A and B are shown apart, each in its own frame.
Chain A
């Protein structure tokens, strides 16, 4: 699973901790998601999409969908 979390967060000028606070997880969780070590569940993915005002699949893509 790939995601655009780091880019979107940078656009908002948010730290990992700040984004984590907005979606109710720790900074470590955001870091793990950004580094592709952890794929969030649907509720967390939807919360992330909501704070960025985007659709979930605009932020998270399956590996075989990237660039396709």
Chain B
């Protein structure tokens, strides 16, 4: 009988460690950047540099998420793809609805962080929906 070709047992913990480390980096850089920017430093280069620090921290997390998804098997990658597509659709609908409601005078201002929050909430929900689709 053919030999099994299962994923090495060390793959998942390493992936999880990288993912958790990336989240920690993101949170630390975000908090640091926000706190520093709250001081309203007059030098635009420093402000730009601090903003870049926050952005880079977020990109580290995005890269870790991409790495984690890429190291999954093809079925899980499909689930992530569908989940991400659903999350994108919901988020886009939310942004579009906010825009329409804003123009109609029902909503004055929707902070960007609210949109980000909606994306963070819809993503795991969409993943759960995608997983359930294949059950």
Contacts and interface: CB of A to CB of B under 8 A. Distances in A.
Interface of A: 12, 21-26, 28-29, 31-32, 37-38, 40-41, 43-44, 47, 50-53
B74 interface: yes
Interface size class of B (residues with CB under 8 A): 10 to 19
A50 B4 CA distance: 10
Contacts of B135: 28, 31-32
B75 A23 contact: no
Given A22-B5, A51-B4, A53-B1, A28 B131 contact: yes
A22 B4 contact: yes
Contacts of B6: 21-22, 24
Nearest to A25: B73
B74 A40 contact: yes
A44 B7 CA distance: 13
B133 interface: yes
Most chain B CB within 10 A, of A32, A40, A53, is at A32
A14 to B, nearest CB: 10
